[in-house]
Amino acid sequence: MPIKTWVGRFAIVQGQAQEESALLRSFPRQRPDEEEDELYVLVEPASERSIEYAGQLVDAIGRMYRQDTLSITGAVLRALKAAQQQLLDWNERNLKEHRVGAGVSCMAVRGHSAYLAQIGPAVAYHVGGGRYRRIVPEGPAVEPLGHAEGAEPVFSRYELSPGDLLLIASPNIEKLLSEEELRAILLRGGDDALVELFRIASDVQDFSLVLLACVVEPDEAAGEAPAEPVAESAPATTVTPPGEPAPATASEPATPAVAAPAAAGAPPPPPDLAQPNVRIKGPEADIRYRRSTGLAAGLPRVPLQAVIALVVLAAVVVLAWFVVPSWLQDSRDDRFADLVSSARTSLESALATDDPAQRRAGLDAAAAALADADLQQPDTAEVAALRVQVDVEKAKLDAVLLLPELELIIDISERISGPVSAKDLALGGGGAYFLDREQSRVIAISLLGAEPEPFVLLEEGRDLVGGEIVGAPQHIAWAEELGSLLIMDASRRLIAVVPTEAGRLLPVRDADAWGSADGIDYRDGSLYVLDRAGDQVWLYLPSDSGFDSERVTLLDAFDLDQVVELAVGDVLYLVMADDTIVRFPGSVARPFTQAGIDLFLSSPASLVAVPTAGMLLVADRGNARIAVFSPDGTFLQQLVSPSFTDLRALAVDEPNGLLYILSGGRLYRTPLPPLP
């Protein structure tokens, strides 16, 4: 059976459903000797003033993309940069209150490959291999298009397999559905997800959505008539600032579509959108589904044989009227008893094991059996009692701890432009240190005073260390044994800085031989350096003057291209771009299982090892929580708080038992909770 991708989309404009809108359009492109690709552009205005400009922005991005002969990513990047420059030019000529900007999600599809580009207010979701992931812009890409000179979109690529989904939507989808509700809908599969999302969004005034799904099509569909080719034109287009007349453009041709199933309970869409649009993608896109053609013009004569068959059928129906109900009732009773028995067995199995993963699986199986039993015989006391037991055991396993109100130390966003990430926070010596990448400086605050005041600790081009001008700081880490903050600059020089004292250079042997310098950490006197280009983590033991020692390789044949962060505890941990964590008790990778957790990590932003307490803390951005694990990756506890709106980094003051949390630009403090 052939594997294909299809794209479903719809827009709600002032409460009315339609296929496309000013904020959502698609742009097919055909390059010579290559399979056709198609770009879907979804825009989220950053302000009320930006709404009138959004339609022209969508049109400009799409038409620039169509005209470009570069690869998909190159064409998308060039289209976004061109639109960005025109927005910047407009904003520079106008008052601040008249400036415009927008968040943009671009999804380009070719065959089974999808390319996602995001900038500004934007959100996307990916389901692959049964796992769910929320995707949002990070770093400079958080700024709306048109607001910052150096804003760069974030790109990601997905090779889709049957059952995989990729969704881009208006950010207000997160007001319509909780993370868990949306996850449950998407895991149901493309057809059901599209229909359910249309039903939920039908009451919203303004909303846009594009859903890409990979499916296996029945073989018999291959014999249907091929789809008619889509004619298109691609005249040059530029963004017209607000208040100026928009250039005339050729109307877009209608896209051949396959109707998705109707959403139960949803208001009927307008005539121009029979259902949320679904377009088959890929080289085998010539599938047509059969449609009903209505009643024939006249009714045929009924043969005698048909009359006899109808009489026999009526007799069977009368007999079934008396016999079948009792048989069905017996069948339902047997099915109910089997399900309750299965739920009891799964519950007993869960309670009998100490393995948290097996316990979670047993409880989930029991809950599923009870849900089916409730369909057979609703509201029975037996099912209700078992469900209470399952819920109690699940609550114990979930181990959710609501933290008390966090102590706000400082809002660093008022002092640092741009976001502060997990790699840009260090803690030690009674102070907190922030790496301000946009202004190439390190800012420090004292944690000992009542009202801490930030000050510049080191700045590119301003400070001299060892007679040399300091380059742009790239990485920071606190060195407890040295009582100093370690700063590595763009020239791979390692600088030890103590507040109120001049910095000093620490030699690091063979630093120029690294493939790259992508991160540092410090533990028990030793320096760790992440070298992604060299697929290695280097260990430097301390020397009299710094780290002038032979470097030690820590890994055996491991690809570090997708590593996001490293952390060192009793062993080495690497956080990967696919939301997984890998641990290295030796030179060979071992899995970090997350055994027993209710929801797997989503966009982990920071990992802090606390060896004395036997635990690791992970800032789980996608699930708005701090997940606590044992060193081998077994789930222990999850910490939640209303302040976790944008988790970024964690730090622990072990001697004083304090947990520091960076959420957005705010640094909070709270006592480190004990394990349950």
Residue 297 reports pLDDT greater than 50: no
Of the residues 398, 413, 447, which one is the last residue of a structural domain? 398
Residues 277 and 144 in one domain: yes
Query: Quick one: pLDDT band at residue 219, thresholds 50, 70, 90?
Result: low
Euclidean distance between CA atoms 665 and 532, whole angstroms: 28
Each residue's pLDDT tens digit, 543-554: 988 999 999 999
Task: Say if residues 562 and 577 touch (Cβ distance below 8 Å).
Answer: yes
Q: Which of 398, 426, 460 is the last residue of a domain?
A: 398
Note the pLDDT of residue 43: 95
| Of residues 523 and 330, more confidently modeled | 523
pLDDT at 149: 72
* pLDDT recorded at residue 237: 43
HSE of 309, CA atoms in CB hemisphere, 13 A = 5
DSSP string, 124-163: EEEEETTEEEEE---GGGGSPBTT-TT---EEEEEE--TT
pLDDT band per the 50, 70, 90 thresholds, residue 147 = confident
The Cα 292–Cα 295 span in angstroms is 9
314-323, 339-348, 420-429: range with highest mean pLDDT = 339-348
**Are residues 419 and 371 part of one domain?**
no
Q: What is the pLDDT of residue 231?
A: 39
Phi, psi angles (nearest 5°) of residue 610: -125, 80
Instruction: List Cα–Cα distances, 664 to 16, 548, 595, 661, 668, in angstroms.
Output: 36, 38, 29, 10, 11
Please give the tally of structural domains in the chain: 3
Indicate the pLDDT class of residue 286, thresholds 50, 70 and 90: very low
Grade residue 304 by pLDDT with cuts at 50, 70 and 90.
low
The answer to whether 654 and 663 are in contact (CB under 8 A) is: no
* Mean pLDDT score of the chain: 82
| Section 148-158 average pLDDT | 81
CB atoms within 10 A of CB 344: 16
Residue entry with tokens 């739920």? 343
- 126-130, 157-161, 302-306 — which is least confidently predicted? 302-306
d(CA 436, CA 456): 10
Q: Give the per-residue pLDDT at 41.
A: 96
Mean pLDDT of 97-118: 90
In a domain, residue 286? The reply is no
* pLDDT band per the 50, 70, 90 thresholds, residue 150: low
Instruction: Using the 3D structure, point to which of 352, 383, 398 is the last residue of a domain.
Output: 398
CA angle 331, 334, 338 (to 5 degrees): 135
d(CA 208, CA 206): 7
Tokens of 180: 């868990």
* Among 85-94, 397-406, 636-645, the least confident range: 85-94
Q: Is 123 a domain residue?
A: yes
Model confidence over 560-604: pLDDT tens digits?
Answer: 998 988 999 989 999 998 889 999 998 899 889 899 999 999 889
Residues 501 and 454 reside in one and the same domain? yes
Rounded to whole angstroms, the maximal C-alpha distance in the chain is 109
CA dist., res. 110 & res. 671, Å (int): 51
Same domain for 263 and 329, yes or no, is no
pLDDT at residue 321 greater than cutoff 90: no
For 488-501, write each residue's pLDDT tens digit. Answer: 999 999 999 988 78
Q: Higher model confidence: residue 270 or residue 402?
A: 402
Q: What is the mean pLDDT of residues 264-290?
A: 46
Residues 274 and 378 in one domain: no
Q: Does 516 lie in the same domain as 369? A: no
Asked if residue 258 and residue 352 are part of one domain, the reply reads no
Model confidence pLDDT, tens digit, residues 342-373: 999 999 999 999 889 889 999 999 999 999 89
pLDDT band of 214, cuts 50, 70, 90? very high
Residue 180 has pLDDT above 80, yes or no: yes
Model confidence at 314: pLDDT above 50: yes
Residue 135 neighbours by CB under 8 Å, 6+ apart: 116, 118, 123, 124, 125, 126, 156, 603
Binned at pLDDT 50, 70 and 90, residue 288 comes out as very low
pLDDT > 90? residue 532: yes
What DSSP string describes 71-134?
-HHHHHHHHHHHHHHHHHHHHHTS-GGG---EEEEEEEEETTEEEEEEESS-EEEEEETTEEEE
pLDDT value, residue 216: 83
Domain range for 480 is 402-671
Please tell me whether residues 337 and 476 are part of one structural domain. Answer: no
In angstroms, how far is the first alpha carbon of the chain from the final one?
51
Question: In percent, how much of the chain has pLDDT > 90?
Answer: 44
**CB distance 637 to 401 below 8 Å:** yes
Do residues 235 and 51 touch, judged by C-beta distance below 8 A? no
CA distance 372 to 389: 17
List the beta bridge partners of residue 468: 465
Query: Is 193 a domain residue?
Result: yes
pLDDT (0 to 100) of residue 272:
43
432 part of a folded domain = yes
- Confidence (pLDDT) at 326: 57
The predicted model gives 418-422 an average pLDDT of 61
**Is 289 within the bounds of a domain?**
no
Spatial separation of the C-alpha atoms in residues 623 and 638, rounded to whole Å = 10
For residue 289, pLDDT beyond 50: no
Whether residue 292 lies inside any domain: the answer is: no
Say how far apart CA 141 and CA 144 lie, in whole Å: 7
Domain identity same for 329 and 407: no
My answer on whether 541 and 641 are in the same domain is yes
Phi-psi region of 479 (alpha: psi -120 to 50; beta: other; left: phi over 0): beta
Q: How many CA atoms lie within 13 A of 448 on its CB side?
A: 5
Confidence of residue 260 (pLDDT cuts 50, 70, 90): very low
305 inside domain: no
400 versus 218: the higher-pLDDT residue is 400
Rounded to the nearest 5°, which phi and psi values hold at 615? Answer: -150, 160
CATH number at residue 553: 2.120.10.30
The answer to whether residue 226 sits within a structural domain is no
Q: What 8-state DSSP symbol labels residue 597?
A: -
Instruction: Report the share of the chain in percent with pLDDT over 70.
Output: 82
SS3 339: helix
Residues 25 and 160 in one domain: yes
pLDDT at 384: 93
Q: What is the pLDDT of residue 423?
A: 67
Whether pTM exceeds 0.75: no
pLDDT at 270: 45
CATH number assigned to the domain comprising residue 90: 3.60.40.10
pLDDT (tens digit, 9 = 90+) per residue, 164-179? 999 999 999 999 999 8
CB 442 within 8 A of CB 436: yes
Better-scored residue on pLDDT, 11 or 240? 11
What is the rounded CA–CA span in Å between residue 544 and residue 509? Answer: 13
Q: Look at 391 and 294; give whichever has higher pLDDT.
A: 391
Q: What type of residue is 10?
A: F
Residue 182 has pLDDT above 60, yes or no: yes
User: How many CB atoms neighbour CB 70 within 10 A?
Assistant: 13
**How far apart are alpha carbons 414 and 436 in whole angstroms?**
12
- Whether residues 487 and 602 share a domain: the answer is yes
- Span 450-473, mean pLDDT? 83
Give the tokens for residue 175: 């007001």
Alpha-carbon distance 453 to 500, whole Å? 14
Range ranked top by mean pLDDT from 142-146, 236-240, 428-432, 514-518: 514-518
List the single range of 133-142, 230-239, 526-535 with lowest mean pLDDT: 230-239
